[in-house]
C-alpha cells in the first residue's frame, strides 16, 4: 500500500476504464484504432484524473513497441535526443512509442526536435495535455496527430470505481469498510469529475476510520473534513476559467437566471470576485444595453458593493445583479453600432471632418466660402436641426439600428416624429 489507491486500482484494459464512453465505447473510433493494432500519433486533451495516462499506458502495452515516458514539466532537449539516439538499437528495431505527459510544457524547439521522427514513423507519439492543444502544441505536430478530448467523469460512473476501491482496500486491510451510500455519493459529487481525486479521498477516509471488531467505520461527517468544498475545476489561466465565464455571459444573454446564478456561484466558490464583476459589467452594456439602460448603473453599484464588502457577503449584491440582468429585456444595438464604426476606422474609412463641426474659427485664403456655418441645435424647435455630421464619404453610413424593445422603439418613434420621417 505504498502507492496511492488510484495507482493500485489503475485499469489494465479498456473495459476497466471509467468514463469516456464517447471515445472508448464499443464501435467508437479510438477503441477501434486500439483494437486494430495500428496506432497513429495521438494527443489526449482533457482535465486531470479522467484517464488520459491510463489509456496511453494500455495502448503502449498492446503495441509491443519499446516504450519511453517523458513528462513535459521536467523533460529537456537532451532527454529527447537520448531517445532519438536509441532508435537504431536492436530493442527499438520495431519503432518506439513515446508517451509524453503534459506536452504543453515543451517549448517549440523541443517539439520541433520530435517532428522529423514522428514524420518518418520511427517514433509514435502519444501525448496528453490539460490545455487546449490548438493553442499550446506546435501546428506541425498537430497536423500529424489525431486529437481526442477526454471529459470529466460523471458521478454515476465514479460510484462503481469507488465500489472496486472498497473491495480492494477491504482485502488489503483485512477489514470490512462500513460507509454509507450517502457518503459515497458525496465523494463522487465533490470530486469534480476527477476519478483519481475521488479514489484518493476514499482511501484517506477509509484509513482514518475507526477500526473495531474487524470493521472500519467511516463517519458521514468525516467526508466534510476531507472535502470541505466542492472540488471544482478552475484555473484562471486555463480553459475552464474561460469556459465558466463564457457560460456565465451566455446564460445572462439567454435570459436564464437559474443558469446565470449557477455559473456565478462557481466563480464565487473559486474566489474569483473580480472576473464575476467584470463580466457582469460587460453584460450590462453589451447584452442589455439600451433595452434597459438603468441596468448599467445598477450593476456598477452592485459590483462596487461586492468589491467593498468582499466574500462571502459579496454574493448578495451580485446575486441581485445577475437576476436583474438575466430577466431584463435584451438589446445589443449599441454594441453592434460601435463594432460597425470600429470596423470602418480599422479599414481606413474616415475622411475630413465636416467644416461646420471643426474646432477652428479662422478660414485660410484657400477657403472660398468663409465661415464655419455650424447650427446650434438648441436654437431650434425640439432642439434639433438637420445638418451633416459624418464625413462626406460616409454621410449615408448607418451604424446604429434601433432595437425591437420598448425603450428603443419609443426613442425611434420620438425622433421619427421630430425629424418628420
Instruction: Write the DSSP string, 155-206.
Output: HHHHHHHHHHHHHHHHHHHTSEEE--HHHHHHHHHHTTT-HHHHHHHHHHHH
Does 179 or 290 have the greater pLDDT score? Answer: 290
Q: What is the mean pLDDT of residues 202-222?
A: 82
For domain 20-149, the question of CATH label 3.30.360.10 is answered with no
Q: Which residue has the higher pLDDT, 104 or 330?
A: 330
- Please check whether residue 165 is in contact with residue 203, taking contact to mean a CB–CB distance below 8 angstroms: yes
Grid cell listed for 24: 472508448
Q: Which phi and psi angles does 208 have, rounded to 5°?
A: -95, 0
**Phi–psi pair at 282, nearest 5 degrees:** -65, -45
Task: Please give the CATH number for the structural domain made up of 344-419.
Answer: 1.10.3710.10
Q: What is the pLDDT of residue 194?
A: 85
Q: How far is CA 241 from the centre of its chain?
A: 5
Q: Do domains 155-226 and 344-419 have the same CATH topology?
A: no
Compute the average pLDDT of residues 165-169: 88
> Is residue 90's pLDDT more than 60?
no
Residue 122 contacts residue 95 (beta carbons within 8 Å): yes
The rounded radius of gyration (Å) of the Cα atoms in the chain is 31
Give the residue-averaged pLDDT of 68-80: 83
- pLDDT-derived band at 230, boundaries 50, 70, 90: very low
Q: Out of 1.10.443.10, 1.20.272.10, 3.40.50.410, 1.20.1270.360, select the CATH number for domain 239-327.
A: 1.20.272.10
Given its phi and psi angles, is residue 271 left (phi above 0), alpha (psi -120 to 50 degrees) or beta? left
Omega cis (within 30) before 389? no
Measure the CA–CA gap between 270 and 234, rounded to whole angstroms: 7
The span from the first CA to the last CA of the chain, in angstroms, equals: 84
Give per-residue pLDDT as tens, 298-314: 999 999 999 888 888 99
Work out the pLDDT band at 96, boundaries 50, 70, 90: confident
Say how far apart CA 404 and CA 248 lie, in whole Å: 24
155-226, which class in CATH? mainly alpha
| Residues forming a β-bridge with 44 | 128, 148
Domain range annotation of the chain:
20-149, 155-226, 239-327, 344-419
Amino acid at each position: 500500500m505504498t502507492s496511492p489507491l488510484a495507482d493500485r486500482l489503475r485499469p489494465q484494459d479498456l473495459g476497466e476504464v471509467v468514463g469516456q464512453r464517447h471515445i472508448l465505447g464499443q464501435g467508437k473510433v479510438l477503441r477501434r484504432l486500439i483494437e486494430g493494432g495500428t496506432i497513429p500519433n495521438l494527443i489526449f486533451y482533457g482535465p486531470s484524473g479522467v484517464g488520459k495516462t491510463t489509456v496511453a499506458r494500455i495502448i503502449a502495452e498492446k503495441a509491443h513497441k519499446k516504450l519511453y515516458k517523458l513528462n513535459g514539466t521536467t523533460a529537456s532537449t537532451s532527454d529527447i535526443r537520448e531517445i532519438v539516439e536509441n532508435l537504431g538499437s536492436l530493442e527499438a528495431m520495431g519503432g518506439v512509442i513515446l508517451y509524453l505527459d503534459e506536452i504543453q510544457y515543451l517549448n517549440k524547439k523541443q517539439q520541433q526536435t520530435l517532428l522529423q521522427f514522428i514524420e518518418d514513423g520511427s517514433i509514435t507519439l502519444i501525448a496528453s495535455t490539460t490545455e487546449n492543444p490548438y493553442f499550446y502544441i506546435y501546428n506541425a505536430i498537430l497536423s500529424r496527430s489525431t486529437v481526442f478530448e477526454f471529459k470529466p467523469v460523471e458521478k454515476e460512473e465514479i460510484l462503481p470505481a469507488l465500489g472496486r476501491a472498497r473491495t480492494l482496500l477491504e482485502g488489503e486491510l483485512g477489514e470490512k469498510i462500513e460507509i454509507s451510500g450517502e457518503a459515497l455519493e458525496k465523494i463522487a459529487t465533490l470530486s469534480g469529475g476527477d476519478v483519481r481525486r475521488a479514489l484518493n479521498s476514499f482511501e484517506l477516509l477509509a484509513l482514518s476510520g475507526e477500526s473495531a471488531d474487524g470493521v472500519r467505520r467511516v463517519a458521514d461527517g468525516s467526508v466534510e473534513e476531507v472535502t470541505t468544498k466542492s472540488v471544482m475545476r478552475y484555473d484562471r489561466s486555463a480553459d475552464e476559467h474561460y469556459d465558466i465565464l463564457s457560460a456565465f455571459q451566455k446564460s445572462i444573454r439567454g435570459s436564464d437566471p437559474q443558469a446565470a446564478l449557477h455559473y456565478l456561484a462557481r466563480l464565487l466558490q473559486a474566489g474569483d470576485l473580480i472576473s464575476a464583476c467584470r463580466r457582469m459589467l460587460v453584460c450590462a452594456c453589451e447584452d442589455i444595453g439600451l433595452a434597459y439602460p438603468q441596468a448599467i448603473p445598477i450593476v456598477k453599484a452592485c459590483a462596487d458593493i461586492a468589491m467593498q464588502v468582499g466574500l462571502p457577503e459579496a454574493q448578495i449584491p451580485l446575486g441581485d445583479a445577475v437576476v436583474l440582468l438575466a430577466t431584463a429585456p435584451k438589446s445589443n444595438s449599441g454594441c453592434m453600432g460601435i463594432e460597425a464604426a470600429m470596423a470602418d476606422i480599422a479599414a481606413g474609412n474616415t475622411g475630413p471632418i465636416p467644416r461646420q463641426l471643426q474646432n477652428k474659427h479662422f478660414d485660410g485664403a484657400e477657403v472660398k466660402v468663409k465661415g464655419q456655418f455650424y447650427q446650434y441645435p438648441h436654437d431650434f424647435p425640439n432642439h434639433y436641426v438637420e445638418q451633416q455630421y459624418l464625413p462626406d464619404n460616409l454621410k449615408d453610413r448607418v451604424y446604429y439600428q434601433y432595437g425591437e424593445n420598448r425603450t428603443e422603439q419609443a426613442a425611434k418613434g420620438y425622433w421619427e416624429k421630430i425629424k418628420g420621417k
